[in-house]
Structure 1
Amino acid sequence: MKLRKPNTGVRALGAAIAAAALMSGAGQAVAEPVSIELAFTCPFPLIGDQPIRAQISADIPSQATVGEPTPEFTIDALTVVNEDSRTGLKLVGSETIEGTATNQTTVVTPSRNIDLTVPLTIPPSPIPDETGEFTVPASGTSPAITFNGDDIGEAKITVGNLTLDMIARTANGDIAPAPIGEFTSACTQNAGQSNVLQTIQVVGEVVETPRIAVNRETVDFGNVQAGLTAEETVTLSNTGNAALGINSISLTGPNASAFMQTSSCTTIEPTASCDVTVTYIPSGEGDQSATLTIDSTDADTPTVDVPLTGRSVLAPVPEIAVTPEAVDLGRVQVGQSTSAQVTVSNGGNETLLINSVTLQGADASQFLQTNNCTTVAPDQSCTVELSFTAASAGARSAQLIIGSSDPESPELTVPVSVEGFDAPTDTLELLLGLKGSTYINASDSTLPLNGTIATLLELASGTFEADLAIEPTTGYFSIKLLFSQLKAAANVEFEQSAVTTGTLVNGTLTANSHLYVKVPKVAVKLFGLPIPVGGGDQCQTIEPVDITLTSEEGSNFSPATGGAVSGTYQLPPLQNCGLLTDVLNQFLTGPGNTIDLMLTPEQ
């Protein structure tokens, strides 16, 4: 296959857009302007990790008062988009860029970390036709914060990582070709930067206050055979700065007599805790419930209720449960596969027997299931593995039916759904110039290389086919002829035997090329005159040379900027090179050869 060379310069999508988002807290003092510039690394489609930088500005007071909510503040951010990104966007017809940026921002006080989410809106912004960097604005509003007495002291507002959800549009408003048109990028803040946007002094009166914390919101004993007992522990903690008094611990409710509590909780010092042991003593048959009530000296939460539940059974019974209760396998490209797991657990007090696991429904034949479910002991589980390969576009559904020995749920149904979609066919023509050299191990010599590679890149998958054209070159090496060691010059040509194929995914390039190596002329100099000693029109390798080229790990190869690639290969024996074919093979063929190239976009 012969690909035509594109007339335009070669660029790929760079670091399309990035914005920084942050929270700004403040007290009731006069706001003061603050600003910070941070650098991030963001993974982008096709080209992998790319650097961005953002200038973040806001008006944030440097003082806040305990108990009084801080006002909300508008956050402004300007993000610098580099020339490679601009060129890449223009190459696929993008005229505007828009989206949102969500920042992981933390307010660090002496007693706690307050996590905030601040979305910034990136309005539709034009992508200029002129070369060079350009900026994209973004803005959002921070939520209010109310500091408490434990926060008194210095609070720092720190800016963390961010997530970009971007949309690039063409001139008519349509979304640009996938995967460039819409993408999400989880950006990581570069190390070694100060990410403190503002330092706030939190002021107010320090009040000694006990605060109760309970580690269980509810306690469910599950199935317990009548005549037996089961125990659970509820831990009470004091997160305040003064001693917490436990006034009483009691049991109330319709089945309070089926439960019993014991503890030694009286006074709990700050940061300390104590345990309440709750015992379930079932009788009869059926569900039973009560409430564990803790009264304490916490003025804000003087009473804490913990609901208690259990089921009294006359004999041991299994109890089946599945997680999740429904499976959505999402969207799957035609020809691709996906999978998910369903966990089958036994919450009863008798071994659960799994009688059958089947798929039913109109599309059941398009799903597969495997499992390790036969018997499930109490409080244990097994796994059902669901898989789907998209044969065509469209929604598909089935039901995973699990039959078991659970007397209340002998047959349990888990809905399964998925949608197949056709792969986008958007492609991009690229022309890269190549320059470098190849080292011939047998003769310890180096040949310079120049040429081009015309590529047709499928944007969605990152796969490509290419025509590789390497210009004729000349190599110099020593050749032993009769009893003399002479300097020889070899003219070397390359003929593509098959289309070059490869992938460009997340900034990593891999290319597989197949070439015949031809040696039309080999000459040595005697008395200053070139003397032919081999070669010819039919002098070439017996079979094509197979060369795999890869970009350097972490180099983020991009068609917009090019990059370095390298590989090793074995040079097959030459044939049809005249009387000295065997001599030439000693110096031009064999393993251990290397190739190093720099690929650069051409206009």
Structure 2
Amino acid sequence: MSSKSRALRKGAAIGASAGVVVGLAGALGAGTASAAPASPARPMLAGTHTFNYTCTYPLIGKRPLKVAIDTNIPEKLGVSQNTGKIQVSWTATLGDDTTSGLNAVDGASIEGSAEAKAQVVGPGYPNGVNVSTKNALQPTPIPSSGSFQIKGYGEAPGISFDSAGQVTAKLGDMNLNVLLKKKDGTPGALGTFKAPCTMDAGQDATVASGQVVDGDQTLPTPVTPPSYFPYTGAPVSPGQLSYAFNLKGSSFIKSPNGTMPLDGSIGVKVDGATGAITGDLTLKKATGKMNILGFLPVDATVDFAQVGQTVGTYANGEIKTTSTMYIKLPVMSLMGIPLGGGDQCQSSKPSAIDMFSTPGQFFDPKKGGPYKASNYVISDIVNCGPLNGILSIFTAGSGNTIDANLTPSA
């Protein structure tokens, strides 16, 4: 066998044994990693090495990670000496933020595989060779809160070099293939999904380095691979997530300078593949005070009548929706004297109300949170009686807002 072909085998093996392991841990999130038990012989890179990645999950967005790995690659290898099967193990601790994100999409356990990239520089390949490898992670339950640990394992065929020299392997980015399962053991709504992971800048990506020297060297004794290796799970298609919330808050109507209490509910379906939201928003009739001409206190009953469904997205841990609604004004009175209203009194056009969770903060559907509209428009009102024209001047316009909170319904 030529030195070039053996060098290629060297690159593939190092990538399989190191890069993939980190890739899987990256899929799982952040936390302080702990090393797996040391192998019988010292690895090429002395001690356990920790890497930082950022992985992007569907719906819940980016999560950081820290993971430490160990390999049985010897510190020194003789010229033409075969390493024997290369084995890698890792143990990572996933932080509470990752746990919350996985729970939010009905994850009760996690399993899967990964494809990782590495570049190996060695005799015959001064510019390096890129390799892509695979690994498996131990199926692991996800707690309801707090951090948790997960282990992984990988291996690659033995390798050898025909000449002496320095060998260095550096990790790159990776892609994860992960399946979350629900509490009953069935696949979750995300199905088998890919999560790209990028290595954080400013760190040494070296996972193994050592020397090929004259004379055979002492090699570690192989260990028995765990039962979960290799990963054999079949791909699962995504489904739908279901969430139901109670809504409470208020809407400020700018033109008449009035605030209306809001009380209602919303139930949504979320596409596990795209994060697309569809659902129904129901708001109860509400009565509040408005001020016409700045000093006339008008009691008004407002009814929000939805047109079609609420639509939107759940992406990067944030929700954004649009609800299209007619604004109805069945009752308007001044000190008990009717000014207008009726069953047909409403805005001439429906209002498109864009609502959103707090930007930059993770919205956990299992806990709820703020849900707001920064500006929506009420068109001219019609069919409100003899004073319709005057009343419309003091009700129509932009700058209307909603400040509400969503809580999961029982």
Shorter-normalised TM range: 0.5 to 0.7
Give the whole-Å Cα distance in 2 for the aligned partners of 1:180 and 1:83. 16
Distance change (3 Å), C-alpha of 1:150 and 1:532: farther
Deviation at 1:474, TM superposition (A): 5.6
1:313-332 → structure 2 map (5 Å cutoff)? none
Q: Residue 352 of structure 2 corresponds to which residue in structure 1?
A: 546
1:273-322, Cα deviation, whole Å (9 max, x unpaired):
xxxxxxxxxxxxxxxxxxxxxxxxxxxxxxxxxxxxxxxxxxxxxxxxxx
| Correspondence 1:180-191 to 2 at 5 A | 180-189=190-199, 191=200
Q: 1:100, CA displacement in angstroms?
A: 0.8
1:18: which partner in 2?
28
Q: Are residues 571 and 429 of structure 1, via their aligned partners in 2, closer, same or farther at CA, if it must alter by over 3 Å?
A: same
Distance 1:544 1:599, change over 3 A: same
CA distance in 2, matches of 1:436, 1:113: 60
The secondary structure found in structure 1 opposite 2:307 is strand
* Equivalent position of 2:172 in the other structure: 160
Secondary structure, in 3 states, of the residue corresponding to 2:391?
helix
1:137 to partner: Cα distance: 1.8
Shift of 1:601: 3.5
User: Aligned AA for 1:430?
Assistant: Y
The one-letter code matched in structure 1 to 2:311 is: G
Q: 1:101 aligns with which of 95, 106, 114?
A: 114
d(CA) in 2 for partners of 1:546, 1:452: 18
1:467 counterpart = 2:280 = yes
Cα deviation, residue 33, structure 1: 2.9
Whether 2:335 is the aligned partner of 1:515: answer no
How far is the alpha carbon of 1:445 from its aligned partner?
5.8
1:55 maps onto 2:70 in alignment: no
User: Is the 8 Å Cα contact of residues 164 and 213 (structure 2) preserved in structure 1?
Assistant: no
Q: Given the alignment, which residue of 339, 351, 376 partners 1:534? A: 339
How far did 1:58 drift?
Answer: 0.8
| Superposed displacement of residue 458, structure 1 | 5.1
- Counterpart CA distance in 2 for 1:586 and 1:560 is 42
Considering Cα pairs closer than 8 Å and 6+ residues apart, tell me whether 1 or 2 has the greater RCO: 2
CA distance in 1, matches of 2:400, 2:354: 12
TM-score, length-scaled by structure 1: 0.46
Amino acid at match of 1:518: K
- Work out which of the residue numbers 107, 117, 121 in structure 1 matches 2:136: 121
Larger relative strand fraction: 1
TM-align CA RMSD: 4.6
Shift of 1:468: 1.2
- Letter paired with 1:515: M
Partners of 1:184 and 1:38 lie apart in 2 by: 19
Q: Match for residue 103 of structure 2?
A: 87
* C-alpha distance 586-138 of structure 1, shift in aligned 2 (>3 A): same
Q: Distance in 1 between matches of 2:330 and 2:207?
A: 72
Q: Distance in 2 between matches of 1:448 and 1:66?
A: 79
Is contact 1:445-1:475 (8 Å) kept? yes
Residue equivalent to 2:209: 200
CA distance in 2, matches of 1:463, 1:543: 26
Alpha-carbon distance change, 61 to 171 in structure 1, aligned in 2, over 3 angstroms: closer
Which residue of the partner structure matches residue 258 of structure 1? none
Superposition deviation, residue 101 in structure 1: 2.0
Q: Deviations over 1:325-366 (max 9, x none)?
A: xxxxxxxxxxxxxxxxxxxxxxxxxxxxxxxxxxxxxxxxxx
- Secondary structure of 2:264's match? strand
Kept in 1: contact 2:380–2:393 (CA 8 A): no
Q: For each residue in 1:14-55, what CA deviation from the matched residue of structure 2 results, as whole angstroms up to 9, or x when unmatched? A: x996389xxxxxxx98444313152422232xx152315242
Please give the alpha-carbon distance, in whole angstroms, between the structure 2 residues aligned to 1:39 and 1:589: 51
Letter matched to residue 28 of structure 2: A
Scaled by the length of structure 2, what TM-score is found?
Answer: 0.64
Measure the CA separation in 1 of the matches of 2:403 and 2:308: 20
Counterpart residue number, 1:410: none
| Alpha carbons 1:98, 1:125 under 8 Å: kept | yes
Task: Give the Cα–Cα distance (whole angstroms) in 2 for the partners of residues 143 and 111 of structure 1.
Answer: 22
CA distance in 2, matches of 1:16, 1:473: 49
Q: Distance in 1 between matches of 2:319 and 2:158?
A: 47
2:115 aligned partner, one-letter code? T
Name 2:297's counterpart in structure 1.
488
Distance 2:386 2:49 in 1: 77
What secondary structure, in the 3-state scheme, does the structure 2 residue paired with 1:180 have? strand
Paired amino acid for 2:325:
L
Where 1:583 maps in the other structure, the secondary structure is helix
SS at match of 1:181: strand
Provide the rounded CA distance (Å) in 2 between the counterparts of 1:465 and 1:105. Answer: 42
Post-superposition shift, 1:431?
0.9
**Alpha-carbon distance change, 104 to 446 in structure 1, aligned in 2, over 3 angstroms:** farther
SS of the residue 1:33 aligns to: coil
Match of 1:135 in 2: 149
Residue 582 (structure 1) aligned with residue 392 (structure 2): no
Larger radius of gyration: 1
**Larger fraction in helix:** 2
- Gapped regions of structure 2 (runs ≥ 5): 1-24, 31-39, 215-236
Structure 1 position 171, deviation (Å): 7.3
For residue 322 of structure 1, what is the aligned residue in structure 2?
none
Unaligned runs of 5+ in 1: 1-14, 21-27, 206-423, 525-529
CA distance in 2, matches of 1:127, 1:80: 10
